[in-house]
Amino acid sequence: MNTMLLREEDAEMTLGEFLKEELFPDRSATLFGIPVNPSFVTAFWLTVGLIVLALVFRFLVYPHFKQDVPGKFQCLVEKAVEAVERFMADKSPHSNVLIGMVSFAACFYIGLGSLCEIIGIRAILVDINACIAVAIVGYGTMLIGGIYGNRFKGAMGVLKDFSMLLSMSFRLFGAMIGGLVMTELVYYFPMMRWGTPVLVGVLFTVLHALVQSYVFMTLVAMFYGEAVEPRFLNGTSVRQKKIKLSKKSKQGA
């Protein structure tokens, strides 16, 4: 867990021991009396918080939205939703409702799960299990989209790219660990403890959270768009294909 000043026992550690403790912490945290990884505690309470906020928004805030004269907050929410809809329509024009909801939720989860590091709470995605779980959600969404859009062929198209699941998991884990190591190195060296942690720790964490959220959302939306893309030709497409083939045959002759 990040701290702005090192403890005395940390100062006596070697660099390797210090990084090992940060990357593989002991199960010192507890959740309902059960010893768990500190990242799991963060993930649990962040998930509960997001669910509560979603319910509050749906049942207490949304009913007060007006169609004729929207307020400032309503305009801000509508602009954000429209931006996500346009982004998803560009990446997945054939079907984008499901992937829009999943990507929007994953973007919040990754972003807030990384920003919590600023206040000294261990980030969620520095645990490989969390990265695998997020990747499984994204991959499962692609599989559902493939089945919905192209039935058996769509499912097989997603399943044959099983390496995509591993790629998304370890890419996200590597990026988050890289950010953690860079930040912790700033805290480790005495000459960089004054002023630098504020600049690097805050700005780098914010930038890292935004970039990783955007990258994951983009990758999932693109692969989902490929999975739901129609894999059959309608009458117009067949005629166009025949015209192109006839032109090529004439040119060849």
Q: Domain residues of the chain, as ranges?
A: 8-252
DSSP symbol at 34: E
Give the count of beta carbons closer than 10 Å to the beta carbon of residue 180.
Answer: 22
Which residue in 147, 160, 129, 144 sits closest to 220, CA to CA?
A: 144
**pLDDT score, position 95:** 81
Look up tokens 């695998």; give the residue.
Answer: 132
Q: Where are the alpha helices (DSSP H) in 196-234?
A: 196-197, 205-228
Give the 3-state secondary structure of residue 31: strand
State how far the alpha carbon of 31 is from the alpha carbons of 39, 122, 129, 203, in Å.
11, 15, 17, 31
CA 178 to chain centre: 16
Print pLDDT tens along the chain (253 aa).
Answer: 444 344 444 445 666 666 666 666 666 677 888 888 888 888 999 999 999 999 999 999 988 888 888 888 899 988 988 888 888 888 888 888 888 889 888 888 998 988 888 887 888 888 888 889 999 998 999 888 888 878 877 788 788 778 888 888 888 888 888 777 777 777 666 666 666 666 777 777 888 888 888 988 888 888 888 888 876 555 555 555 566 666 656 655 5
Which residue in 142, 145, 174 sits closest to 161, CA to CA?
A: 142
* Dist CA 240 CA 229 (whole Å): 18
What pTM, to 2 d.p., does this model score?
Answer: 0.75
Task: Give the tokens for residue 73.
Answer: 């907050």
The answer to whether 94 and 230 are in contact (CB under 8 A) is yes
Which residue in 146, 144, 141, 137 sits closest to 169, CA to CA?
A: 137
